[in-house]
């Protein structure tokens, strides 16, 4: 999902590149971080956020295996969206504070190296199983693999009438990667324009205003026949990513000694556990993708933004209160390691694994079997595919240091 960092794993902070300075010339001091005095200081990894990814991917896996147990488990994807928006925006702001610009091509290159090789490996396996076996869970995977590799699954699903069909087969879950990648394509461009032509305070206000637009758009679009369009559209889910971006902008704007930061830290700590409890209730009780009448209408319009606010509260609390109980719990070494290195692979592989085991007739013990096999495939993906490409992503781009 995602990580990242949707399900798509967030970009490593050590990956960003800096524009080379002429030799013999000292880098000029940057006053006030170009309006974002804390951007560089807040560009490192946060253990609690990595641990939160582990919890989120576990929820998604459980939801896809036993939806009756967690009818709203797909809310974890919404959480992934907010996490991704936060981390990506934080890195972009740090680069801007250091260099006065954002190198878009290196950014897109790093995103490609982080996400695409593992996805292509998954698509290849699904396509091979589709053409060489009679497993029903992989029927039509060749076409789905092509759409998934192009990050277009969400577009196809958005146009489906009636109940979801099996058009995307074992790759249906990659719709969320499509949303994230389309956001990654557009948001750095928008942010760069804002940074160049608006003051830092106006950048914050514009980001907040952009968060409201998807809500208004969903309200204009809503009718029961538009559910797929709203659920899968990047334009209709952008507020969940932008909520994370807004947190990153706010925190980058505030100095460490700013009294407003102390207020944010206090309230984030007070609201973090209620926010987590509310998300847990949604996962446990809310049939997110089912037709529940007025509740579904509320969910597909206002509900997405409510979840974004709850998720942003968690992100802010984990960022601002690393010594808090929630942060300490989510920063346990196994949770952090899995979230940092395996959450993307687990998200990629868990749904094909569910369909594989179901195609083989497994019913008893399906959840633990899926979890175990998904972790094994994620380990293989990480060490054989992702890690080598991550090392390439960390190499300086020619002409940069």
Mean pLDDT of 255-265: 94
Does 53 fall in a domain? yes
pLDDT over 70 percentage in the chain: 89
Does 226 fall in a domain? yes
Q: How far apart are the first and last CA of the chain?
A: 32
57 pLDDT above the threshold of 60? yes
Does 25 fall in a domain? no
Nearest-angstrom CA–CA distance, 350 and 170: 9
Does 401 fall in a domain? no
pLDDT in the model for residue 9: 53
Does 23 fall in a domain? no
The single residue listed with the structure tokens 């995103």 is: 111
Does 314 fall in a domain? yes
Domain coverage including residue 155: 13-18+41-394
For the entire predicted model, the pTM comes to 0.89
The DSSP annotation for 327-356 comes to HHHHT-HHHHHIIIIIHHHHHHHHHHHHHH
Nearest-angstrom CA–CA distance, 36 and 374: 41
Mean pLDDT of 254-277: 95
Mean pLDDT of 201-213: 96
Does 4 fall in a domain? no
Domains: count for the chain: 1
pLDDT in the model for residue 8: 53
Here the tokens at position 59 are: 């929820």
Confidence of residue 288 (pLDDT cuts 50, 70, 90): confident
Does 35 fall in a domain? no
Mean pLDDT of 332-342: 96
329 pLDDT above the threshold of 90? yes
290 pLDDT above the threshold of 80? no
The single residue listed with the structure tokens 């509900």 is: 303
> Long-range contacts made by residues 19-27, C-beta under 8 angstroms, separation at least 24?
19/99, 19/101, 19/103, 19/400, 20/399, 20/400, 20/401
- Alpha-carbon torsion (211, 212, 217, 218), positive or negative: positive
């Amino acid at each position: 999902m995602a990580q990242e960092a949707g399900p798509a794993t967030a970009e490593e902070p050590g990956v960003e590149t800096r524009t080379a300075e002429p030799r013999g010339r000292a880098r000029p001091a940057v006053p006030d971080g170009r309006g974002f005095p804390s951007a560089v200081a807040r560009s490192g990894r946060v253990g609690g956020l990595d641990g939160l990814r582990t919890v989120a991917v576990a929820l998604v896996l459980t939801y896809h295996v036993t939806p009756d147990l967690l009818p709203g488990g797909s809310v974890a994807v919404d959480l992934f969206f907010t996490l991704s928006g936060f981390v990506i925006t934080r890195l972009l702001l740090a680069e801007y504070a250091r260099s006065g610009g954002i190198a878009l091509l290196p950014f897109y290159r790093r995103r490609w190296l982080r996400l695409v090789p593992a996805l292509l490996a998954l698509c290849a396996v699904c396509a091979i199983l589709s053409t060489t076996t009679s497993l029903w869970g992989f029927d039509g995977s060749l076409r789905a693999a092509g759409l998934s590799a192009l990050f277009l699954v969400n577009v196809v699903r958005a146009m489906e009438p009636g109940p979801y069909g099996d058009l995307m087969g074992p790759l249906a879950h990659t719709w969320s990667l499509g949303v994230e990648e389309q956001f990654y394509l557009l948001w750095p461009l928008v942010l760069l324009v804002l940074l160049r032509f608006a003051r830092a305070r106006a950048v914050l206000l514009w980001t907040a205003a952009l968060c409201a637009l998807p809500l208004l758009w969903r309200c204009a679009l809503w009718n029961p026949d538009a559910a797929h369009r709203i659920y899968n559209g990047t334009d209709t889910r952008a507020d969940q990513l932008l909520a994370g971006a807004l947190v990153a902008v706010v925190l980058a704007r505030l100095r460490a000694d700013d009294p407003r930061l102390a207020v944010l830290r206090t309230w984030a700590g007070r609201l973090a556990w209620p926010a987590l409890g509310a998300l847990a209730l949604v996962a446990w009780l809310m049939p997110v993708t089912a037709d529940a009448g007025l509740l579904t209408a509320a969910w597909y319009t206002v509900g997405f933004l409510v979840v974004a606010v709850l998720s942003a509260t968690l992100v802010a609390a984990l960022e601002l209160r690393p010594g808090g109980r929630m942060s300490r719990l989510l920063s346990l070494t196994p949770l952090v390691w899995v979230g940092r290195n395996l959450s993307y692979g687990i998200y990629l592989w868990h749904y094909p694994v569910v369909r594989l085991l179901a195609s083989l007739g497994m019913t008893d013990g399906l959840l633990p079997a899926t979890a175990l096999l998904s972790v094994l495939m994620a380990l293989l993906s990480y060490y054989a595919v992702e890690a080598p490409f991550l090392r390439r992503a960390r190499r300086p781009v020619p002409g940069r240091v």
